[in-house]
């Protein structure tokens, strides 16, 4: 069983290594494509913290949540992005994003154990706000398909980073909980800045 967790942790950390490299690319004068989509979720600390928190919490929940909780986030983020691109309004997007950082940090800090379906629902609701923000910020000159693919891969990389860290620190649960408290504190500051 230990080999399985180390393999998953190694894969998660390896998958996240592409993120800083891709962040170095600029939009350029002629539009935004794949590299710009990868870089976009990395441009805001709110998105980074929430997406890493999803992975950390999935690791805390364990079992089927390893893949289903992050997948729920990714799927609903796509829905939120499509809503924004279609011109459908979503109320309180910025407060929803700040709340996602705060609440996800708190569920990690207090090691909240929800069933996997409820965990998927919680992160899915938050993902709508993140996706809507991404869709609203989509550059006019972007290749929507390539940009969206890059954005999804960056999101998956951030989830994998959180999941890998969560798996690595499962035996030191206090470190995970401290990390959650720090994420929640950042969310509280974001909330206070609205």
| Domain ranges, ordered by start, for the chain | 2-192
Q: Which residue is associated with the tokens 């999101």?
A: 155
User: Above 80 in pLDDT, residue 178?
Assistant: yes
47-64: buried (b, 16+ CB within 10 Å) or exposed (e) per residue?
A: bbbbbbbbbbbbbbbeee
User: Above 90 in pLDDT, residue 123?
Assistant: yes
- The pLDDT, as a whole number, for residue 28 is 41
- The pLDDT, as a whole number, for residue 11 is 44
**pLDDT tens, position by position, 3-50:** 554 444 444 444 444 433 333 333 443 457 888 889 888 988 999 999
Nearest one of 105, 122, 124, 110 to 191, comparing CA atoms? 105
**pLDDT tens, position by position, 48-83:** 999 999 999 999 999 999 999 999 999 999 999 999
- The pLDDT, as a whole number, for residue 141 is 61
Whole-structure pTM value: 0.83
pLDDT band, residue 185 (cuts 50/70/90): very high
- The pLDDT, as a whole number, for residue 20 is 38
């Amino acid at each position: 069983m230990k080999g399985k967790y180390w393999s998953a942790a190694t894969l998660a950390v390896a998958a996240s290594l592409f993120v800083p490299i891709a962040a170095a690319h600029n939009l350029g004068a002629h539009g935004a494509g794949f590299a710009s989509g990868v870089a976009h979720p990395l441009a805001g600390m709110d998105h980074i913290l929430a997406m890493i928190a999803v992975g950390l919490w999935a690791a805390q929940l364990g079992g089927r949540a390893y893949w289903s909780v992050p997948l729920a986030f990714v799927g609903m983020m796509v829905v939120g992005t499509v809503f924004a691109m279609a011109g459908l309004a979503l109320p309180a997007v910025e407060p929803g994003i700040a709340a996602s950082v705060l609440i996800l940090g708190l569920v990690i800090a207090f090691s909240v154990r929800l069933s996997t379906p409820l965990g998927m629902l919680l992160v899915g609701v938050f993902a709508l706000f993140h996706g809507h923000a991404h869709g609203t910020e989509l550059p006019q000159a972007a290749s929507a398909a390539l940009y969206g693919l890059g954005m999804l891969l960056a999101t998956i990389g951030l989830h994998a980073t959180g999941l890998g860290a969560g798996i690595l620190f499962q035996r030191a649960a206090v470190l995970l909980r401290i990390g959650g408290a720090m994420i929640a504190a950042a969310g509280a500051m974001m909330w206070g800045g609205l």
